[in-house]
Structure 1
C-alpha cells in the first residue's frame, strides 16, 4: 500500500524541499529571436570544424562497446597545450583535470575538499551555483560582500578568509554576474590567507570567461608555480563556442588532480566527449576568432548604456550588468515582449545582458529604448 501524499513523499532531504532547480529560462528561438541571457558565443563553428568533430565522433562511436580512457590522456595533453599559450609558466598534462562542464569540475572540488565540518567562502554578488555546490556537499557556506563597484575589498576579504578558515575559496574572475576581473595581487593575497597557520585551504579562480578579459589583464595561471593551493578553472562553453559540448577543466598542482580522482565517477567523460573536445581544440584559433569582435561589441555596449544614463559595471566578460531599475522584472518582461531575452540576475535593481552579434545588439538597444520610453 502506497504512503499518503502528505507523508513526506518522495523522501527528499529536508533542506532541499521546496527549492526550485537552477536554470535560466529556455524559450524556442522562433518565439524569442534574440536570446542574450546565458552568455553563449553567438558564432558557431565553421564547416571544416564541424566536419572534423563529426569524424572524431564517428571514430569514437566505433569503440563504444569499450569503456573510454578513464584518464583522458589525449584530452589532458590538448588542454595543457592550449593553456600553455596563455601563460609563460606553461601547464603540464598532469596539472590538468576535466569534467562535464565547469559545473562538474566545481562540484568535484567541493566533494574532495569541502564536506561536513568544512567551509566554502566567496564574495557576493557571485555565481549563483556556488552556494548550491556547497549545499549539495554539506559544506558550510559563507558569503562576504564586494565593494559598491563590485571590486573585491582585499583587506576585508583577507580578514574573512582568516576568520572563517575555509577549506575552499571561490573567486570568479571575471566575476559572474558583474564581469569584474581580479588583479593578480588579490589572488596571491588570498592564496596566502587560505594557507595561513595550520589551515590548508584551496583558492579556486573560476576563469569561465577568462578569454574575454581586456588587454593587459593577466590570467591567474601565471601564479600557479608560486601557490600550490591555487586552482584555475576554465570552460569550453563560452569563448570556445562549445556550450553544447559540456567540457570544463582546471589547472592545478598534480596532487590536487590526484585528489579529485577519489570522488570522480567511473569513466565520467565519455569517449565521444573526449574525441569531440580534442577535435575542437585543434580548431582553437578559429573558434576563438570572434573573441576580439565580441570584446569590441561589449565595450561599445558599455559606452552606449552609460550614455543612455544607466549604471554599468566594468566588464572583462562577454556580458554586461546594468541598472538601476525600480522594477527590473517589468523591464525584463518588456524586453521579452519585444523578442529580446536577457537575464534577471545579480543584485536587486540590475539586469545582465550577454554580448551577441551586431544585429542582436542593435535589436537589444532598440527594445530597451522602447521599454524605457514606455515607462518614462
Structure 2
C-alpha cells in the first residue's frame, strides 16, 4: 500500500490536505453527502506511492496512475471536483444501487460513503491491473466489504448484478452501450462522459419515453474507454517544412480525399479575425460544443512539441479547427489592448480564406446567439422514433443510436 509514515505524508498532514480540498470544493459542490464523503475517504491511499499530498489533494487535477508505451494516460484518479460533481449528477442517496464503469478505487469508496451500509456499489474495469489495485486499496481503507470489484468489459452486462439506480461511467465513451440502458432501473440516471466529434461533455441522462434526455451536461475529460466500446480517432499527419508534424484528428467524419492536404503547410499562412472579443477569465467552453454541432470538417489539431507551430498553437485553447478539401484552419487568438483577446483563424491551403471564414463565421454565430455555454443533449437508441427529435437539432450518428444537440436559440 502507499500509506507511509513519511513526514510529508503523516495522518495529520493528510487530514489537513483533505480539509483544504473540501473547503475549496464547497464553492463548487452542494451535496452535504458528497462533501462528507470527500472529507472522509483518504485520497492519498489511492494514488501512486510517493505522490505529494499537494498533488493528491489538488481539487481540480487528476493523478495519472498508468500510462501506455507512448506516454498516453490509460488510468487515473480523476479530479476530485469532477468525481464529486458526477456523484451529485447521479442523485444517489442512502440505499442506492450503483454501478461504476472504470475502476480505480477512490470513486467507488466515495460512492460507498454516499449510499451507506444499506446501499451497494459495483465497480467494473477491463484491466486486471486496475481491478487488482482497486481491490487492494479498497480493502486496506476499509471499503473491501462495501464495494464489489469485477474484472470485465463494462460494455457488457454485469452478471448477477443490477438493476442499478445510477450508472456512472468514469471513462470517456463514444457511444452508449445497450447493457447500460438495460441495467438502469426505472427513474435511474446514467452519468457518462460522452464524446461528440472530439468534444466531451459529462452528461446526466434519464429516460423520457423511448430515448434519454440530459438533465445536465458539463465539460470534463477522461481517459478513453477500452474494449468493445473503444473508438479511435482518425489521425492525419501533415509534415511541416520547418520540422515536425501538425496532426489533424477526426472523430467520425474523415476527409474523403486526405491526399489533397499533402504539402499544405508549405503554402502561405492566412490569418483573419472574427471581431469577437473574449475578456480575460471569461468562459467559452460552449464554443467547442457549438463547433462540434455546426462546423463542417470539424477536427482536433495538435502540433509536435518544440516546433514553431507548437509555439503558435500555445496561443490557442483547446485547438479545434476545420479541414475540407485542400485547406484547413484552426482557432487562434490575438491580444486586445490588455483587456482580453480576439478570436480568429490561422489557415493554410489554396482555399485558406474560405477555411478561415468558415471557422470565424461560427464564432460570430455563437456570439450572436448569446454565447450559450451548453445545449440540450439527447440519446436516441436504435429503434427510437427519430421523427420527433427537436427541430433544428444536430444529429450525430453513433454505432447504436443517434445523439441530438439542441441549442437555446433553436425553436
TM-score by length of 2: 0.28
Q: Which has the larger radius of gyration?
A: 2
More helix by share: 1
The higher relative CO (CA closer than 8 Å, separation ≥ 6) is in 1
TM-score by length of 1: 0.30
